[in-house]
Amino acid sequence: MALRILSHLLLLIIIALPPINANLEGDALYALRRSVNDPENVLQSWDPTLVDPCTCDLGNAKLSGKLVPELGKLECLQYLELYMNNLMGPIPAELGKLKSLVSLDLYHNNLTGSIPPSFSNLSNLKFLRLNGNRLTGRIPRELTKLGNLKIFDVSNNNLCGTIPTSGSFSKFTQESFMNNTRLEGPELMGFVRYDIGGCK
């Protein structure tokens, strides 16, 4: 009984605490500004807390440099638009923590590495466009569970393995996967194993 009261009290205290989001957002912005070259000073004026819905709209803004894991702290983000810049390096797996994300557009950059399987946690995601980068590795099978996904584009990369066909992937056409010379598929459900074949 006493334990229960104690845990209720604890819960109340947690609820009553002021949100620490402002600090987290400050951290994320600071980290991004340090990592990314921003000749037009677009990051200086961007404050995700001042726009509703919480949006990062920095497409075609001449940004170069690397994405930072701290971006995963911007938990209110619904739109992360960083397309048509010159960003390089890997996509941080931490972006999979952006649970409110509806749209993630990183197309036409110079990103390398693989597509983070953590994206399968973005259950609100409708638009995922990663086309026109230099991404390698497989399309994470886990992404097929993204039930809200409407647009998925990984064309013009260097992905390999087979194209998933189950779940939301049953809707996507070949266009979504074009110009990945090592990508095979669509996989034959039940006949060919997903991870077969040379894909490094």
Ligand X SMILES: *[C@@H]1O[C@H](CO)[C@@H](O)[C@H](O)[C@H]1NC(C)=O
Q: Are 35 and 68 in contact (CB under 8 A)?
A: yes
- Copy the structure tokens of residue 122: 């973005």
Does residue 156 touch ligand X according to CB under 6 A? yes
Phi, psi of 79 (to 5 degrees): -130, 120
Does residue 110 touch ligand X according to CB under 6 A? yes
User: Closer CB to ligand X, residue 48 or residue 132?
Assistant: 132
Q: Least separation, in Å, of the C-beta of 159 and ligand X?
A: 13
Q: Least separation, in Å, of the C-beta of 11 and ligand X?
A: 20
Q: Interface with ligand X by CB under 6 A: which range of 37-45, 75-83, 112-120, 159-167?
A: 112-120
**Residue from the set 24, 51, 151, 178 that interacts with ligand X by CB under 6 A:** 178
- Number of C-beta neighbours around residue 108 at 10 A: 20
**Residue from the set 37, 142, 167, 199 that interacts with ligand X by CB under 6 A:** 142
User: For tokens 């803004």, what's the residue?
Assistant: 61
Q: Encode 115-142 in three state secondary structure.
A: CCHHHHHCCCCCEEECCCCCCCCCCCHH
User: Closer CB to ligand X, residue 23 or residue 179?
Assistant: 179
Which residues, in sequence order, are CB contacts of 29 under 8 Å at separation 6+?
43, 46, 47, 48
Q: Interface with ligand X by CB under 6 A: which range of 40-48, 69-77, 161-169, 173-181?
A: 173-181
The residue ranges that bind ligand X (CB under 6 A) are 86, 88, 96, 110, 117-118, 120-121, 142, 155-156, 175, 178-179
